[in-house]
Structure 1
Amino acid sequence: MHFSNLKGNFRKPAGSQTLKWLLGWHNEKRPKSPATGVRIPYVQNDGNALRQSTADTLTWIGQASFLVQLGGKNLLIDPVMSRSLGFIKRNSPPGLDWAALPKIDAVFITHNHRDHMDAPTLKRLGPGPVYVVPKGLGVWFRQNGFPRVVEMSWWQQEEIDGLDVTFVPAEHWSRRGLTDINTSWWGGYVIARNGLRVYHSGDTGWFEGFAQIAERFPDIHAAMLPAGAYAPRWFMRAQHIDPEEAVRAFKLLGAKQFVGMHWGTFKLSDEPLDEPMQILPAIWEKEELERQRLEAGVLGKILRLDKLA
């Protein structure tokens, strides 16, 4: 079975487009910027406060990885703790290292790209947690020793460990190997408990699904939205929103808090690794949004979700 986007189109970049981008045969060329050694805001977090607290929290680990504490449950979304993705080295350390992590109850995977689904990290987490994955990915998890798997389709709702979970659409694509293009789905998650609701978009280009999510979930407390890996736009637009589109999505969703992600960790595109951090505040000011509603991204910083209610 093969999966597609809401429009029914196929968004994987063609090989010729990828070559054109890598060779710089286009008009959006940028000066080469470092892949490592770029300083990203970081707060030392040994995990003690997370283990002792009963509050609902959200902590950015890096890229699209978050620890979410909701209703007394510890959740990981797209956990990637590895120092590299093959030949792509990690720029900044995880906001929480292994020793700082509390016992994990559930792991959520948005899609199978390696900066979101990291096999070494998952194998170290082991078979204890429930693994919530897009439809088509369950076989990989079961074959790799993870028996507690929940596969989900778009708009499917499940109660998982006392949490209300909905898998929602995104505009993207999937591939893990040479022959599995779009054989598993991609998307985001809306996770709720006791009146608190968080949304993690996964990777996505701009699409009508933001309006559909806003209509179904009118009270999102924190929206984790990608703000990196967007240049050049002619190549990335179909699969990754840029900072302006991320803020536009946030406004459309009507969420209380913007939480930036998918930047500063792995060099996957042409813009400098720290560019989103530099330009998001200017976009925010232009849109006349309250400054306290912007969390551009600080590794290891604990965001209290109950303070947003």
Structure 2
Amino acid sequence: MHFSNLKSNFRKPAGSQTLKWLLGWHDEKRPKSPATGIVIPYMYNDGQGLRRATADTLTWIGQASFLIQLGGKNLLIDPVLSRSLGFIRRNSPPGLDWPALPKPDAVFITHNHRDHMDAPTLKRLGPEPVYVVPKGLGHWFRHNGFSRVIEMGWWQQEEIEGLDVTFVPAEHWSRRSLTDINTSWWGGYVIARNGLCIYHSGDTGWFDGFSGIAERFPDIHAAMLPVGAYAPRWFMRAQHIDPEEAVKAFRILGAKQFIGMHWGTFKLSDEPLDEPMHVLPLIWEKEELERQRLESGVLGKTLRLDKLV
């Protein structure tokens, strides 16, 4: 079975396009910027407060990885704690490293790209948590010894660990090997408990699905949206929104708090690794949004979800 997007059957960038980008045969060329050594805001977190789990919290680990605590449950979304993705080295340390990480009750995977689904991290987490994955990915997990697997399709709702979980659409694609293009789905998650609602978009290009998500979930407290890996636009637009589009999506979603993610960790595109944290406040000011509603990202910083505006 093959999966597609809401508006098109975008498969993946064509090989000729990828070559054109890598060789710089286009008009959006940027000066080469470093892949490592870029300082990203970081707050040391030893996890002691998190292990007590007395509040509903959100902590950015890096890239699209988060620890979410809701109702005393520890949830990991797209956990990647490895020092590299093959030949792509990690720029910044995890906001929560292994000694600080509370024991997870559930692990959520948005899609199978390696900066979101890292096999070494998952194998170290082990088979005890519930693994919530897009349709088509369950076989990989069961084959690798994970027995507690829930596969979800778009708009499917499940009660998982006492939480209301909905897998929602995104505009992206999937591939893990040479022969499995779009054989598993991709998307985001809306996770709710007792009126508190959070949204993690996964990787996504711009699409009308943001309006559909807003209609179904009118009271999102925190929206985790990607703001990196967007340049050059002619190549990345179909698969990754840029900071301006992320703020536009935030407005459509009507969420209370913006959490910028998918930047500063792995060099996957042409913009400097730290560019999002510089351009986001400028876009925010231009849009005349309240400054306290913007969290552009501090690794290891824990936010109290019940304290969000």
- Is the TM value for this pair above 0.5? yes
**Cα offset, 1:11, TM superposition:** 4.0
In structure 1, the partner of 2:104 is 104
1:42 has 2:49 as partner? no
Aligned to 1:18, the other structure's residue is in SS state helix
Residue 65 of structure 1 is matched in structure 2 by: 65
Instruction: Report Cα offsets for 1:63-102 as digits up to 9, x if no partner.
Output: 0000000111000000000000000000000000001011
Q: Distance in 2 between matches of 1:11 and 1:294?
A: 33
CA RMSD of aligned residues (A): 0.6
User: In the aligned structure 1, how far is the partner of 2:43 from the partner of 2:200?
Assistant: 22
C-alpha separation in 1, matches of 2:269 and 2:308: 33
Identity %: 87
Query: Size of the alignment, in residue pairs?
Result: 309
Question: Which deviations, in whole Å up to 9, do the C-alpha atoms of 1:111-163 show, x marking residues without a partner?
Answer: 00000000000000000000000000000000000000000000000000100
Structure 1 residue matching 2:68: 3-state secondary structure: strand
Bigger mean CA deviation after superposition, 53-62 or 176-185 = 53-62
Contact 1:81 1:94 in 2 (8 A): yes
* Deviation for aligned residue 1:53: 3.6
Query: CA–CA distance in 1 between the matches of 2:11 and 2:254?
Result: 27
For 2:11 and 2:32, locate their aligned partners in 1 and report how far apart those are by CA, in whole Å. Answer: 26
Give the C-alpha shift of residue 22 in structure 1: 0.1
Structure 1 residue 243 and structure 2 residue 243: aligned?
A: yes
| Structure 2 runs not aligned, ≥5 long | none
Aligned to 2:168: 168
Could you say which residue in structure 1 is the equivalent of 2:130? 130
4+ residue runs over 4 A deviation: none
- In structure 2, what is the Cα distance between the partners aligned to 1:195 and 1:274? 34
Find the counterpart in structure 1 of residue 158 from structure 2: 158
Partner of 1:276: 276
Where do residues 1-309 of structure 1 align in structure 2 (5 Å cutoff)? 1-308=1-308
Task: Give the counterpart letter for 1:163 in structure 2.
Answer: L
Which amino acid in the other structure matches residue 183 of structure 1? Answer: T
- The answer on whether the counterparts of 2:53 and 2:69 sit within 8 Å (CA) in structure 1 is no
Distance between the aligned counterparts of 1:308 and 1:268, measured in 2? 31
* Pairwise CA distance, 1:10: 1.8
> 1:71 is matched by which residue type in structure 2?
G
Matches of 2:146 and 2:54 in 1, distance apart? 28
Structure 1 unaligned blocks of 5 or more: none
Secondary structure in structure 1 of the residue aligned to 2:111: coil
Provide, for residues 210-257 of structure 1, a one-character-per-residue CA deviation record: whole Å limited to 9, x for no partner.
000000000000000000000000000000000000000000000000
C-alpha distance in structure 1 between counterparts of 2:285 and 2:67, whole Å = 28
